[in-house]
Amino acid sequence: MSNNTVTLHRVLKASPEKVYRAFTDAAAIASWLPPYGFTCTVHEMKVEKGGGYKMSFQNFSTGNGHSFGGTYVELKPNELLKYTDKFDDPNLPGEMLTTVSLRQTIAGTEINITQAGIPAAIPVEFCYLGWQESLEKLARLVEPVIPDA
């Protein structure tokens, strides 16, 4: 496993339940996980310990893309998600481990993310910037309070 790791921290003005749901609902994750300029297709998503997921990102400008998948290693609803990521591209070998911790605070939900084992071919700074964009999109999804119509 590569030593390349990114660590991120945010406080979102939303409940842990809403943030957790954004990680475990296929339509939601497809809307916020890909960085700007990319679309996401979730091909499979079985959110349970030992369950798996498969998705692909596509560059909207060029049409190029990549697919990846993984396994849910540990889940504590509204508190923790731990899952593996593995690219289908043999030029991006290895398995990453992503840990997402959620904690209720007076201001909303504190979220801590660590992604370890990023393939050496991916500059860690690019991965970090991609996560920054994704978390900005996540905030735009979970922070609005929209009354029932």
The angle subtended at Cα 32 by Cα 71 and Cα 5, nearest 5°, is: 55
Contact indicator for 5, 118 with CB cutoff of 8 Å: yes
In this prediction, residue 146 has a pLDDT band, given cuts at 50, 70 and 90, of confident
Q: Which residue has the tokens 């905030």?
A: 139
107-138 pLDDT, tens per residue?
999 999 999 999 988 899 999 999 999 999 99
Residue 1 confidence (pLDDT): 47
In this prediction, residue 144 has a pLDDT band, given cuts at 50, 70 and 90, of very high
Which one-letter DSSP state was computed for residue 31? H
Instruction: Pull the structure tokens for residue 77.
Output: 């609803």
Domain 5-142 CATH (choose: 3.40.50.2300, 3.40.50.720, 3.90.79.10, 3.30.530.20): 3.30.530.20
57-79 pLDDT, tens per residue?
999 999 999 999 999 999 999 99
Residue 94's closest CA among 130, 72, 120? 120
The angle subtended at Cα 14 by Cα 10 and Cα 19, nearest 5°, is: 75
What's the pTM value of the predicted model, to 2 decimals?
0.93
**Coil, strand or helix at 118:** coil
Every domain of the chain and the residues it spans: 5-142
